[in-house]
Structure 1
């Protein structure tokens, strides 16, 4: 059964579709999070976020339990991916804010020692993304699906019906915009 049919059946309160959809989303999100954490571990030895965020499984379980059928229909996989990337982004930002609120920081962390993995960096990224969404929604969309869902340029090009070269240009422009606005 394709994802759109599952979503439509879920919206009509079909319990089997709900279970299948949650399983598909769960497996996909878990793989995306595993990939991101693996990449982070390769790039930074022991960072604030890796050491302090709850486990991927814990985050996914909490989120999937709270999923409710949407009151709108999702017609295209593209739209579903947009919602999913926003879901992951908001989930990560919420967790960073919880950490900040609880003041669970490593002994070596201080406000003066801003590093790439500090909570402020992720909040600044979110702020820059909001600005990018207002000024260049297409660039923000491509960046979000690439960064938060792990979609590659080829997948994005096919999904958005644009060339791979356009995807690369949009990603480069989005990254440059975010770097300037962080």
Structure 2
């Protein structure tokens, strides 16, 4: 059992000091994943990978719910989902602001994650991804791990416990399906 898996198990059993031990072990890898995701965003995006990692990490270990981490791959899959949700929430907030809602002052932090011109695209992707998830949760997981977490095909296959050829086929299918779905709805 790797150190990460062992510490995840300790977190699962309620050890309060385990979360402090986990961050140094996964931080660099989570930061690389966040940086890869943010590199795919349009220019003008001001969020730092560090902020995205911290927000996602807090959602994973400080949400008060006991998590059942099955493996290191499961943890990173959950991290990818947390990053996706953070970006989607920010896109929704930006879209609301663009439509004239929320006339209160906003801090720089509220404006950091994603440019408003990109918010609509991200929301369209999320809506299509939710439809794909209802059709094939595994294909949707492949998209989340590849697009949001920046995992490679081999890393995605390992995280999901599937063959590389299956991950390649799922990724190809999902990209085409999502493109068609987004085009159809725009």
Tell me the TM-score normalized by structure 2. 0.73
User: Contact 1:156/1:167 (CA < 8 Å) preserved in 2?
Assistant: yes
User: Which whole-Å deviations, capped at 9, do the CAs of 1:103-131 have from their partners, x for residues lacking one?
Assistant: 39xxxxxxxxxxxx621100000001100
- 1:51 aligned to which of 44, 49, 65: 44
Match of 2:24 in 1: 23
Cα deviation for residue 39 of structure 1 reads 4.5
User: Which whole-Å deviations, capped at 9, do the CAs of 1:55-79 have from their partners, x for residues lacking one?
Assistant: 3323333444454254242223343
**Residues in 2 aligned to 1:130 and 1:80: alpha-carbon distance in whole angstroms:** 21
* CA pair 23-99 structure 1, distance change in 2 beyond 3 A: farther
* Unaligned segments of structure 1, at least 5 residues: 41-46, 105-116
**Residues in 2 aligned to 1:136 and 1:24: alpha-carbon distance in whole angstroms:** 32
Match of 2:109 in 1: none
Match of 2:54 in 1: 61
Q: Does 1:154 align with 2:146?
A: no
**Residues in 2 aligned to 1:58 and 1:9: alpha-carbon distance in whole angstroms:** 25
Q: Does 1:3 align with 2:4?
A: yes
* CA pair 136-5 structure 1, distance change in 2 beyond 3 A: same
**Residues in 1 aligned to 2:157 and 2:53: alpha-carbon distance in whole angstroms:** 28
Match of 1:51, SS state, is coil
**Residues in 1 aligned to 2:177 and 2:164: alpha-carbon distance in whole angstroms:** 20
**Residues in 2 aligned to 1:51 and 1:145: alpha-carbon distance in whole angstroms:** 24
Alpha carbon RMSD of aligned pairs, Å?
2.5
Tell me the TM-score normalized by structure 1. 0.75
* Unaligned segments of structure 2, at least 5 residues: 100-116
Cα deviation for residue 87 of structure 1 reads 0.7
User: Which whole-Å deviations, capped at 9, do the CAs of 1:8-55 have from their partners, x for residues lacking one?
Assistant: 212333343211223344332221122233344xxxxxx3xx424533
